[in-house]
Structure 1
Amino acid sequence: MFARASEDGFIHDMVLYYGKTTLEAHDVPLKPEQEGLGATSQIVSVLASTMSFPTTTAIFADSFFTSLELVRYLQDHNCRYTGTARDNRIGKPQLGTIKEMEKKAVPRGTCYYVTSDDGILAVRWKDNKTVILLSTDMGEGPMSTVLKYCSESKKREPVGCPAVTRSYKANLGGIDKSHQVLPMKSNRRYLRLFAYVIDVSLTNAWVVYKRDCKALGVKCQPLKDFKL
């Protein structure tokens, strides 16, 4: 199940995977320009097409979805994007290679970046491993520091961190928040799907309830106190 969620865990749209005909059942048919995209890029483009305000929204996704073609497609439709990426899906930007970045002589926190003529930022940042990001939403600066555990000194030490990485870590996770309160588990596929639809409805209602409580300035009743 592929889903699009807001940062507070509210799920707005879903696509159920079932092979080559995955996108045929979605309410929004593929446009000719989408048909030329890869499979994961098509999924993101379809989920993005149902957003109410795409020009004022930024999408965050992991390396399973991110590619240069997807970032360009969304950019052409005035939608901002940030995501981690695999090295073979970012084109050939003028950056240091992963092999060079992972040499011991290159300190942790090192950041190389380049921006294309059409405004796409590509970043390589050295953490425990080399992290690659593509973005049309954030720049590399201002650089800041984050505390990371160092295996050599056995303590947390400050490590340089680009702004785009901090933004990615802060905004990715809406799906995870939703799944934290999805209770039912089953080995039977049809039961899982049935339970998921019900649980998503309940979880979305809970998120809306919390939003309303925050807007009204009242205390939320704990989720465990609700009886069905």
Structure 2
Amino acid sequence: MVAYKGKTAGNLRQYIKTKPDKWGFKLFSRASADGFIHDMVLYQGKTTLEGHGVPLTPEQQAMGATSQIVSVLASTMSSPSTTAMFADNFFTSLELLRYLRDQNCRYTGTSSDNRIGKPPLKSIKEMEKKAVPRGTCDYIMSDDGILAVRWKDNITVSLLSTDMGVEPMSSVIRYCSETKTKEPVSCPDVTRPYNANMGGLIRVTCWSTSYRTPMKSKRWYMRMFAYVIDVSRRTARPLV
């Protein structure tokens, strides 16, 4: 979100109560793990993708809105066949994974239970029973190469991937409220690169919020211009 409380931007201004900046411009971005933004799409309602300059194929037009956005951001990558994409459950769906797989682009993401299809996995309700220990993992591979994983951590997490597998199993350290100590918890291998590569946009957001360009104007596009400056400064700044 690019913070903006003015009322001159019309429908471009959005409200999302879960964001630190609740009012502003909503951006969909593709960033690398080190915090560099490579492409972005400004949310504009039904005309969101028209201003991006990438025509949609018939296959993309048949996809859902969030899948279209990811597919468009992926289409501007210079080497999709050597790139792995990671996203959260707002974007992940079976149709997206199948599309990106056909484009030779690997993908891993958490997924909502209603977007994972109906694989023969233990249900979330069953996984969250106290009798099921933390670290329990259930998984299946589809005939077309999509891995579906359900893993019990602090909460039960569902993941889809065309990139990573379950083996070798590793472990993460979690606090146990019963023993009041930190204990190792078994986890599938697919969670390791997901956790390592999902922080790129968080880095950008934290830095641009902390070092925001001071600019007051009634013209809404000046706030967007200031954000571009902030992102450019972040790109030019050496990582520490």
Tell me, in whole angstroms, the C-alpha distance in 2 between the residues paired with 1:153 and 1:20. Answer: 52
Q: Name the CA distance, whole Å, in 1 between partners of 2:196 and 2:114.
A: 25
The structural deviation recorded for 1:29 is 1.2
1:156 to 161, 164, 182: 182
Does 2:118 correspond to 1:95?
Answer: no
1:77 aligns with 2:124: no
Contact 1:184–1:192 at 8 Å: present in 2 too? Answer: no
Point out where structure 2 has 5 or more consecutive residues left out of the alignment.
1-26
Q: Distance in 1 between matches of 2:122 and 2:74?
A: 32
* Whole-angstrom distance in 1 between the partners of 2:136 and 2:206: 34
Corresponding letter in the other structure for 1:6: S
State the one-letter code of the partner of 2:82: T
Query: Which runs of 5 or more structure 1 residues have no equivalent in the other structure?
Result: 211-219, 221-228
- For residues 115-126 of structure 1, what are the structure 2 equivalents within 5 Å? 115-126=141-152
Q: Which amino acid aligns with 2:212?
A: M
Deviant stretches of 4+, over 6 Å: 185-188
Q: Partner of 1:146: helix, strand, or coil?
A: strand
2:66 counterpart of 1:40: yes
CA distance in structure 2 between the aligned counterparts of 1:105 and 1:178, rounded to whole angstroms: 41
Give 1:30 deviation, angstroms.
1.0
Contact 1:101–1:126 (8 Å) recurs in 2: yes
2:48 counterpart residue number:
22
Q: Distance in 1 between matches of 2:101 and 2:72?
A: 14
Q: How many residues align?
A: 209
TM-score by length of 2: 0.83
Residue 195 of structure 1 aligns with which residue?
226
Q: Which amino acid aligns with 2:178?
A: E
Does residue 184 (structure 1) correspond to residue 215 (structure 2)? The answer is no
**Letter of the 2:90 counterpart:** F
Matched, 1:137 2:163: yes
Per-residue CA deviation, residues 122-169 of structure 1 (Å, 9 max, x unaligned), is 000001110000000100110011100112222211100100011110
Q: Which has the higher helix share?
A: 1
Q: Provide TM-score, normalisation by structure 1.
A: 0.88
- What is aligned with 1:172? 198
Separation (CA, whole Å) in 1 of partners of 2:92 and 2:227: 26
Q: Give the drift of 1:194.
A: 2.3
Instruction: Find the residue that maps to 1:112 and give its secondary structure.
Output: strand
- Counterparts of 1:191 and 1:181, CA distance in 2: 19
1:191: Cα distance to partner? 4.7
What CA distance in whole angstroms lies between the structure 1 residues aligned with 2:55 and 2:203?
29
User: What is aligned with 1:225?
Assistant: none
